[in-house]
Amino acid sequence: MVATEHQKDVILTSFSTLSILQLIKDAQQKHGLRHGDYQRYRGYCARRVRRIRKSLGFTHVHKGVPKHAAKFIPRKLTFNVITEEKFLQIAVFDAERNWSYAIQLKQEAGEDAHSRKRFHMIGKLRRAVKHASNLENIIKSCENVDAVTRLESQAYNSWMHGCLRFELKEWKGALECFRTAKKIYEKLATVVKLPNLVELYKVRCREIQPQMRYCEFNCGDNASCDAAMSEMINMRLQLSEEEGVLQEDFDKLIAELRTKAVVHCIKDIEWGNEKVPVTNDNVRNLLQALEQFDHELVQTTIHEDKMTLYDQLLSSIRDVIQVLNEEQKKLVDNETHIGDEQFPNRLTIIYLEFMRLKRTIERYVMIITHTKTQTEKKIKPQDLIRLCDTVIENSCLILQLPGVAKNKDLELAYKAKAEYYRALRCFCLAEAHAALAKWNEANVLYDRAVDRALNTSLLLKNAEGNPFIVEKEIDVKNLHEQITASKFSTQANRLAEAAGGNKWDEKQENSDNKPIIDTLDEFRKITPKDLHKTEQNIRIISVPPSFIPMPNKPMFFDLALNHIKASVSFLHCLPKKNIFFQMPDLESKIVSYGFEKKGTSQSNEKVKKGAKSKQDKQDASQQGIGGLVKGWFWRQ
């Protein structure tokens, strides 16, 4: 009876808050899901469950029966056995283990809808839903669990149900589950006061949003297919690399949308006054993507996203061209099919090559425009030269395509484009030479750029009303003005260099390092910007002041005065008050002082030497053998 009461007291003690989302996110980031390794995460979850069961003494039982194999008896997680928080973690990681196994099988199955791995995946998702539902039921029945843990278990269970119905393509049921999970996480973000948990809940809501929009699209009416496709593509661009499985789903949906858009319409390709119907499904989907591309590009505002759209489109065009080239080779090898079937294929390849070159030119023109508008860092002319080369090269390739000569407007438009970017390239080359103070070379390049700009203006005037013209007359005019201004500046610098103007620059540069107090008689050009620089070279005075060499009084000058002998004629010339008398001769005293000093020093040395020898003998006698040996070695 006492033991029973004690057990009841243990059960009624309140648990600490179990943040399920934070628990699984930490485990996912540390054990494989940062790199999309679901197999590693599945193994971690299995080991974690085994460790928790072992620490709680809640392991499964193998009951041995005589003459029979041991029978496995699982110990299920129920409300009656929950005595602490770790029991709840068993259900969490059981659900995570099955979910990660399902996603791993989904990646391995690929696009095969009838693969056995897909059925295996659905089974594992059902097991994950079973564990998540069991977790929610246990927490609901447990009175010593706080409200935050209850809400998190409900949100986790709803999200897991949504994942299962998403894979079963039950779009309405999945949408309701995802909406429920999102509402709960939004409510938790307003209630919880910990900043890291609030941010975690908001990130979870952003992760659920693409799945909800995917379900909404499949549930709704596809009347406006173009708008829906644009929305799907924008959401696809916003997905992170960690959501690789969802990215594949969006790619499949976009492909399905494009296929549906071209099922009931037959398109024609017109090139070189020839019209060919499109029968290939890949070409149809690509033409639909080309029609949608401009609308998608207008809706995208970030430069990096625009580059991603261009890269995806160009990759699709290259893939379709490669497939058509392989079909063309097969037709050439088969002699019976040469003729009617070969011509449409060849014309389609030429048209797609034109579209590839055209979109490549647009991509590089957009990069040039973006580079010019950058203000964070200084733009070098060398950065634009390679981009202009690519635009010129692709324009020339378009002019070399078969059938371009039959379309005069197209030919004239790309001639004008090539000439315009040749002028821009010459201008960038001239700027690069001017930065290196190569004035003569820069002046020649400026002249060539002016000629090319004038040629571009003539071509644009002759092509008024041309639908293929992208460059405007005002762009050419602005480029011509920039070239002219830079040309005059280069000519002025060249004349200044010829007149020796650089000497003044060198002198000015040397004087800038001096303090102002030392250059008061010189003109120095100091702007307000120079005063606000972090590294100021302008100084008023030198602190501390530099050393100045000063003459000192030699100590031997007074002694030298004793040896000065003035002549009688010199003494008569001086006034009486300035007559200097000859000082007494001290030479004899100095000599006698030297002898006395020498004698005293010798006597002192003898006394010291005698005393030292006596002392050494005394020390040697006291030191014994060690002192005797020391005396031998040191000759004492």
Residue 130 lies in a domain: yes
**Per mean pLDDT, which range of 243-247, 367-371, 448-452, 518-522 is the poorest?**
243-247
pLDDT at position 553 is 60
pLDDT at position 424 is 92
Residue 598 makes CB contacts below 8 A (sequence gap 6+) with none
Give the residue, 243 or 67, on which the prediction is more confident.
67
Residue 354 lies in a domain: no
CATH number, position 52: 1.10.3450.40
* Nearest of 213, 283, 281 to residue 250 by alpha carbon: 213
Residues 608-632 have pLDDT tens digits of 545 455 555 555 455 555 554 455 5
Q: Is the model's pLDDT at 76 over the cut of 80?
A: yes
Residues 98-111 have pLDDT tens digits of 999 999 999 888 77
Q: Is the model's pLDDT at 480 over the cut of 60?
A: yes
User: Alpha-carbon distance 289 to 261, whole Å?
Assistant: 10
DSSP code for 16: P
Contact 423, 453 (CB under 8 A): yes
Task: Kindly report the three-state secondary structure assignment for every residue of 384-422.
Answer: HHHHHHHHHHHHHHHHCCCCHHHCHHHHHHHHHHHHHHH
Percent of the chain with pLDDT over 70: 71
Residue 23 lies in a domain: yes
Average pLDDT, the chain: 78
Task: Kindly report the three-state secondary structure assignment for every residue of 99-141.
Answer: HHHHHHHHHHHCCCCCCHHHHHHHHHHHHHHHHHHHHHHHHHH
User: Alpha-carbon distance 358 to 181, whole Å?
Assistant: 46
How far apart, in Å, do the first and last CA atoms of the chain sit? 103
Q: Is the model's pLDDT at 243 over the cut of 60?
A: no
Confidence of residue 446 (pLDDT cuts 50, 70, 90): very high
Coil, strand, or helix at residue 262? coil
Residue 230 lies in a domain: no
Q: How many CA atoms lie within 13 A of 563 on its CB side?
A: 6
pLDDT at position 4 is 42
**Per mean pLDDT, which range of 137-141, 195-199, 222-226 is the poorest?**
222-226
User: Alpha-carbon distance 139 to 79, whole Å?
Assistant: 8
Q: Is the model's pLDDT at 506 over the cut of 80?
A: no
* 63, β-bridge pairs: 71
What's at 290, amino acid-wise? Answer: L
Confidence of residue 327 (pLDDT cuts 50, 70, 90): confident
DSSP code for 63: E
Backbone angles phi and psi of 412, in degrees to 5: -65, -35
Average pLDDT for residues 484-512, to the nearest whole number? 72
What's at 345, amino acid-wise? Answer: N
Q: Is the model's pLDDT at 453 over the cut of 60?
A: yes
Confidence of residue 168 (pLDDT cuts 50, 70, 90): very high
- Containing domain of residue 524, as a range? 501-531
Q: Out of 531, 553, 580, pick the residue that ends a domain.
A: 531
Residue 121 makes CB contacts below 8 A (sequence gap 6+) with 102, 103, 105, 106, 109, 167
Residue 32 makes CB contacts below 8 A (sequence gap 6+) with 38, 39, 40, 41, 44
**Per mean pLDDT, which range of 26-40, 269-283, 311-325, 582-596 is the poorest?**
582-596
User: Alpha-carbon distance 485 to 82, whole Å?
Assistant: 83
Residue 376 makes CB contacts below 8 A (sequence gap 6+) with none
Residue 7 lies in a domain: no
Residue 5 lies in a domain: no
Average pLDDT for residues 26-54, to the nearest whole number? 92
Residue 462 lies in a domain: no
Residue 109 lies in a domain: yes
pLDDT at position 537 is 65
Cα–Cα distances (Å) from 270 to 275, 349, 350, 354, 398, in that order, read 4, 12, 11, 12, 16
* DSSP H or E stretch at residue 543: none
Residues 538-547 have pLDDT tens digits of 778 888 887 8
Confidence of residue 517 (pLDDT cuts 50, 70, 90): confident
Looking at the 3D structure of the chain, how many domains does it have?
A: 2
* Nearest of 312, 304, 305, 298 to residue 254 by alpha carbon: 312
pLDDT at position 1 is 36
pLDDT at position 347 is 86
Q: Is the model's pLDDT at 52 over the cut of 60?
A: yes
In terms of DSSP H, where are the helices of 436-573?
439-462, 473-498, 501-511, 528-531, 557-560, 568-573
